[in-house]
Structure 1
Amino acid sequence: MPILKRPDAEIHYEVHGRGFPLLLYAPGGLRSSIEFWGPAADGTPRAWMDPRVALSDRFTVISMDQRNAGKSVADVKPDHGWHTFAADHLALIDHLGFGQFAVMGGCIGGSYCFEAIEQAPDRVAAAVLQNPIGLWENRDTWDEAVKGYAATVRARDPSISETTIRSFGQNMFGGDFVFSVTRDFVKDCRTPLLLQPGTDKPHPAHTSNEIASLAPNIEVQKDWRAPHFLQESINRVRAFLEKHTA
């Protein structure tokens, strides 16, 4: 089991295929882990592609369990936030010996994509935003996400204080829009983006519409989520990434 050892974390990851590197950020909110790309526990296929299978013939597809999700474990500190996760992401890319890379994120992964672009704009060649999260009449969703994260990390380390959890939660979800970056950042973002919009409470259509209206270099694939759109979604993502990762 490949593990990236960080000063405060052990990050589990997988690598599939060969080609231009594509770093995946899985769905699942703060439980974002590799398993959310594959079938559900009962074998039911997801409503989205598994890029490890669909794209590994053309790209080096790198999937990972985010810190304190799946098989990854890490400390939690009061100053941790989006930048902490981004540091893991860039460290993994460096560990694998890549310079430029593309990113693809589902759910919370859309916000990880934006944070990667903010932290390393010259390295992120393109980003696929699939079902991005955002704040729109759903504050309770993110309060519950932080509570669930607290239960997970405290089961491993009971010394993590409520004050630390509150600070971490504020750093992650205390803002608005997509949480990790501002509307002004997206308005000035020149990185090529492909948006597959969200439509439900954690992934508001309002947020996807805002991203689409603000970003200056964006394509939108409105119909992507359902078995009968699966191949079309794969084709569109592949063509977009091939176009921007020569």
Structure 2
Amino acid sequence: MPKLQIGGSRIHYEEYGSGYPVFLLAPGFLSSRIERWSVNPANPGQPQAFLSPIDGLSDRFRLLALDIRNAGESRGPVGPTDSWDTYVEDFLGVIDHLGIERLHVMGACIGVTFAFALAEARPGLVSALVLQNPIGLHGNRQNIDDEFAAWAEAAKDYPEVDAANLPGFHQRLFGNDFLFGVSREFVASCDLPILLMPGSDTMHPQAISEEIAALAPQTEIVDPWKGDDHKHEAMDKVRDFLVRHQP
């Protein structure tokens, strides 16, 4: 299980399959980690209602997955200025370490914000985006704050984390609206091919997915995509989209 030292952080990542690279940013809010592609934290021991891309795509693509800092097996400091760009620096550190110059990105939940932020940080790196269940602010401020508080309760005991920095970190991450880490203006200017798998619950509001679809000029939609009746066909559409937009 490789761990890469990037500045003061240690990032756990894994690779699967071979072919054109696809960077996977898992669901799970600030506990985003590889296993969340398969296991539903809201129902311990139960599988997710969708197919894991690790299972569905590794026969065709080189998949790169990781635990974000202070989730799973990854750890890193939370400093007085850290924000979304801190996570992106971790991602770019892993990508550069592996010598990858261009890739697709698939992000779920908070991974959607990470995916857009990665594309914004390094133009030309990302060739296409698959966005599943986007997180965002739409009448759910208390839910977002509660999720951060639950993560912070565990993170404050990590030796790398100074608990005094967590309130400011909370504000820098989630003080904005929409997708928190990127602006509407950036999404509207993003000319990457996008496959959107819309959200429909409190943490993944339908209105946020609708706004992404309205703003981003090259958006295709797969819906429905969850549940035994739809998850296999949805993954087939993800595969077809990624193949179609491979450089």
Aligned amino acid, residue 14 of structure 1 = E
Q: Find the partner of 1:82 among 67, 70, 84.
A: 84
SS at match of 1:155: coil
- Report if the CA contact (8 A) 2:77-2:161 is conserved: no
- Partner residue of 1:28? 28
CA shift in 2, pair 1:154/1:241, >3 Å: same
- Partner residue of 1:201? 202
Distance 2:111 2:68 in 1: 10
Structure 2: give runs of 5+ residues left out of the alignment.
Answer: none
Greater Cα offset, 128-137 or 46-55: 46-55
Q: Find the partner of 1:91 among 87, 90, 93.
A: 93
Distance 2:161 2:205 in 1: 35
SS at match of 1:241: helix
1:37 correspondence with 2:26? no
SS at match of 1:227: coil
Distance 2:143 2:181 in 1: 16
- Partner residue of 2:75? 73
Q: Find the partner of 2:154 among 152, 155, 170.
A: 152
Distance 1:220 1:59 in 2: 22
Deviation, 1:100, is: 0.3
Distance 1:158 1:192 in 2: 38
Distance 1:198 1:136 in 2: 12
Aligned amino acid, residue 225 of structure 2 = W
1:228 correspondence with 2:229? yes
Deviation, 1:44, is: 2.7
Distance 1:160 1:89 in 2: 22
Deviation, 1:171, is: 1.2
Deviation, 1:97, is: 1.2
- Report if the CA contact (8 A) 1:68-1:152 is conserved: no
Aligned amino acid, residue 17 of structure 2 = G
CA shift in 2, pair 1:159/1:72, >3 Å: closer
- Partner residue of 1:171? 172
Aligned amino acid, residue 112 of structure 1 = F
- Partner residue of 2:3? 3
Could you give the per-residue CA deviations for residues 127-167 of structure 1, whole angstroms, max 9, x where no partner exists?
100000000001112211221232122112397143x1111
Q: Find the partner of 2:59 among 57, 66, 72.
A: 57
Aligned amino acid, residue 82 of structure 2 = H
CA shift in 2, pair 1:226/1:186, >3 Å: same
- Report if the CA contact (8 A) 1:146-1:165 is conserved: no
Distance 1:152 1:191 in 2: 37
Distance 1:238 1:158 in 2: 38
Aligned amino acid, residue 220 of structure 2 = E
Percent identity, aligned pairs only, is 42
Deviation, 1:8, is: 1.2
CA shift in 2, pair 1:159/1:168, >3 Å: closer
Structure 1: give runs of 5+ residues left out of the alignment.
Answer: none
Distance 1:158 1:60 in 2: 31
Deviation, 1:31, is: 0.5
Distance 1:229 1:126 in 2: 23
- Partner residue of 1:16? 16
Deviation, 1:32, is: 0.4
Aligned amino acid, residue 240 of structure 2 = A
Where in structure 1 do 4 or more consecutive aligned residues deviate above 2 Å? 39-45
Greater Cα offset, 229-238 or 141-150: 141-150
Aligned amino acid, residue 243 of structure 1 = R
Deviation, 1:40, is: 4.7
Deviation, 1:43, is: 4.6
Aligned amino acid, residue 193 of structure 2 = P
- Report if the CA contact (8 A) 1:132-1:198 is conserved: yes
Q: How many residues align?
A: 245
